[in-house]
Structure 1
Amino acid sequence: MVEQGDGTTTGGPGAPWRTLRDRVAHEVGAAGPLARGTAVVAAVGAAWWSGPVWATPALVLAAAAGGLVAVVDARTHRLPDAVVLPAWAGVVLLLAVAAVATGDGAGLVRALAGGATGFAAYAVLRLAYPPGLGFGDVKLAGLLGTPLGWLGWSALAVGLVLPFLLGGLWALVLVAVRRARRDTAVPFGPSMVLGAVLAVALGGAIPGGAVPGS
């Protein structure tokens, strides 16, 4: 489920950044209008839900990346590194800024722990039963776990567990309507993203942090 990218490295001090930028642009362009539209809707929804707080940019980035890769995974069974990993790094950086601006060091610790917990828990499941998860799912769990951790431990716990229930139910529906067999691989990314959204919506998590500029 993981795309390794096909960008080429050029010389010069800015080459790594240009290569990363080109890989991200390539993936976003190749994702298609439905994926890009979903990313925009997810970003707007996250901004509306969060409001004008310091954590909003991080939540918007996570939502946009999650919306994009969920559609890509549903269509192609791929979770592109060129989107997931830069988004994860960007979310960590933006939450660090939010933590410094608001003095919420505990929130940043939760966010870092959430990302590490999501990555580690899904990595263990991947190693224990390789057909069940791909390494793309493991990395996406790290990305989603970071903002979930910032929002609270309960959001993190629900957001990491709920996808398995959603994925199982979706697989049963596909089998029931004869769109899949018991051994058919079903993309897990959409269930992970939807599980994170439901964990936040149903849990009533509050973003926290002061209004920028206040």
Structure 2
Amino acid sequence: MSEARSYPRRVNTEAGEIEFHMMTRADEAAVLDFAKALPTHDLLFLPRNISQPKVLSAWVNEIERGDIVSLLALKDSAVVGCGTLVRDQHSWSPHVGEIRMVVSLDVRGIGVGRALSQEIFALALGAGLDKLTVQMTVDQRAAIALFESLGFKAEALLRDHVRDADGQTHDIVVLGHKVAQVRARMEAYGLPAAVTPS
């Protein structure tokens, strides 16, 4: 996947300055610490439990193969958020990307999640994707509201779709966004550089 944006990039939020950079194998230990500090329920945003070292190592392998792009949010050199753009070039949906995102409890509600989701959205535009999806449990209302504010709309409800560590099942809501429409509007406004893959 290619993107028109360059990293590291710094953004001011209510939480202070946040630095975004592309995740590499060198970040593995810091991301593991971040994941282990997350509430278990938050890990249900992701299809795999990244608080397990072998799962995290497999994730880094996917990054190195170019199958996914993961962006880290850092505050004072500590990982406070991670956003991933997943795209399966060999599926029937190579034009669709999935956003997977988690943010530390201590920086929620103060702009970090919004800034991270906007960065991932920009990467999707640069990658030439037509559609984005995101999924989460139905009780994660703040996250749902955040993505709806970015133009995502509910498309599906998957009942009892994930099972947590205690064996309890949870419903998943799938939200979608037609990225191609955003790209077309930006091009109509004369902003082609913002949406052209590098």
More helix by share: 1
**Normalised TM-score (structure 2):** 0.29
More strand by share: 2
**Normalised TM-score (structure 1):** 0.27
